[in-house]
Amino acid sequence: MYDRVESEYFTAKRKAAKQLGLDSRYRPKDLPSNREIRDHIQILACLHEGSQRTENLQAMRVAALKLMRHLRSFRPALIGSTFTGHVRKGSDIDIHVFSDQIAAVTMVLDELRLPYDVEHKRIIKHSEERIFTHIHATGKFSFELTVYPENKATYTFKSSITGKAIERATIAELEQFLRQEYPTLSIDETEEDDEAEVDHYDFFRSLLQPLEAVKQNPKYHPEGDALYHSLQVFELARESRAWDQEFLLAALLHDIGKAIEPGNHVFAALDMLGDAITPRTAFLIEHHMDAHAYRDRTLGHRAGVRLTQSEDFEDLMLLRELDVGGRQRGVEVCTVDEALDYIRALEDESYLDAE
């Protein structure tokens, strides 16, 4: 469970019993309780993660408060390990929200430009079927929002670990908790405009990571997943335009829409990126598929003329060339973090030069 091979306590205990050769020849009291398992997972987290776990916990709690403030109208409540302190590497921030319209919640996430997936999970317990709606959002941290009907806002939920009322905190309760837990933390400062605090590179990272799960047509992309392809294109771009931050960002991000809306990945990318990128980077991403059509002579005459009249036409055609070249099997590429760090360094250099 620490390595997240298994996430459900009941399933994990059943698998462990089977590995010990007990199969069904055991009684529930022969197995450790959920609380005992949780406590031992925490021991592993402390051993493997050290002081980083404590620093991460504070940052997760602050991130939870910021998102909850945006979701205020849905009466959000922080639950789970972020509130109780039982986090480990890879833990989600779990929040209950109450709305009869899932789209109303996702609209807030759209405004924040947080990528998300909606999951409807079917659970059968005591011969009763229930459908739970989870919204998995990704930013600097991973969030799991569980959406309940509005009339459940005052309902007392039970913990699967303790069997008692679940530990939870509303916005006001979390603010008070943070003041007590972290006396030097200024809660008022966390209420500043989040747009001013957005780290675009964390945002870009959250859009790139899902590409690893996007498997492409081997006829056109024998290299494999879309992330590997994107990193290949970035590496080629760095060889050709090592100094050009806008071009490098376009090369790295040109396919991020494939993890959002594969049928129209260009529109999805631009819609998600918004003003987080410059107009030039947006132009290169917007027209990279047009560049393929132009080279194949399948682009309409007027569209082709408009394309050639752009001052970035040559760079667009270079991006097309690199897009084709970045489809090799087995080549070595950098990581997402290394690519973003390289581009960030160029931005920092430009800022210093401007000073």
Q: Are residues 186 and 248 in the same domain?
A: no
Lowest mean pLDDT among 2-16, 163-177, 212-226, 268-282: 2-16
pLDDT digits (tens, 9 = 90+) for 115-129: 899 999 887 665 677
pLDDT at 240: 95
Q: Which of 119, 114, 117 is nearest to 139 (CA)?
A: 114
Q: Are residues 108 and 214 in the same domain?
A: no
- The answer to whether position 8 is within a domain reads no
Using the predicted structure, report yes or no on whether residue 303 has a pLDDT greater than 90.
yes
Using the predicted structure, report yes or no on whether residue 354 has a pLDDT greater than 70.
no
Using the predicted structure, report yes or no on whether residue 50 has a pLDDT greater than 70.
no
Query: What is the residue range of 342's domain?
Result: 200-354
Q: Are residues 232 and 170 in the same domain?
A: no
Averaged pLDDT, 215-244: 93
Report DSSP letters for 183-201, one per residue.
TTS-TGGGGS-HHHH--HH
- The answer to whether position 170 is within a domain reads yes
Using the predicted structure, report yes or no on whether residue 245 has a pLDDT greater than 60.
yes
Q: How far lies 112's CA from each of 269, 288, 310, in Å?
A: 15, 26, 32
Q: Are residues 217 and 342 in the same domain?
A: yes
- The answer to whether position 39 is within a domain reads no
- The answer to whether position 16 is within a domain reads no
CATH code (residue 82): 3.30.460
In the numeric block, which tokens belong to residue 147? 């959406």
Q: Among 139, 170, 194, which residue terminates a domain?
A: 194
pLDDT digits (tens, 9 = 90+) for 7-24: 676 777 778 878 877 766
Question: Residue 290 — pLDDT band, cuts 50, 70, 90?
Answer: very high
Question: Residue 243 — pLDDT band, cuts 50, 70, 90?
Answer: very high
- The answer to whether position 260 is within a domain reads yes
Q: What is the DSSP letter of 165?
A: B
CATH code (residue 319): 1.10.3210.10
Q: In what order do the strands lie in the sheet with 77-79?
A: 116-125, 128-138, 142-148, 93-98, 77-79, 168-169
Per the CB < 8 A criterion, the answer to whether 12 and 31 are in contact is: no
pLDDT at 47: 61
Q: Are residues 307 and 230 in the same domain?
A: yes
Average pLDDT, the chain: 85
- For the chain, percent of residues with pLDDT exceeding 90: 47
Q: Which of 257, 180, 244 is nearest to 211 (CA)?
A: 257
pLDDT at 185: 85
Burial 216-254 (b: 16+ CB within 10 A, else e): beeeebebbbbbbbbbbbbbbbbebbeebbbbbbbbbbb
Give the C-alpha separation, 71 to 101, whole Å. Answer: 13
Other CB atoms within a 10 A radius of the CB of residue 322 amount to 24
- The answer to whether position 45 is within a domain reads no
Q: Among 176, 194, 212, which residue terminates a domain?
A: 194
Lowest mean pLDDT among 70-84, 183-197, 243-257: 183-197
- The answer to whether position 43 is within a domain reads no
Q: Among 166, 194, 222, which residue terminates a domain?
A: 194
Per the CB < 8 A criterion, the answer to whether 156 and 165 are in contact is: yes
Q: How many domains does the chain have?
A: 2
Q: Are residues 313 and 169 in the same domain?
A: no
Q: Are residues 296 and 336 in the same domain?
A: yes
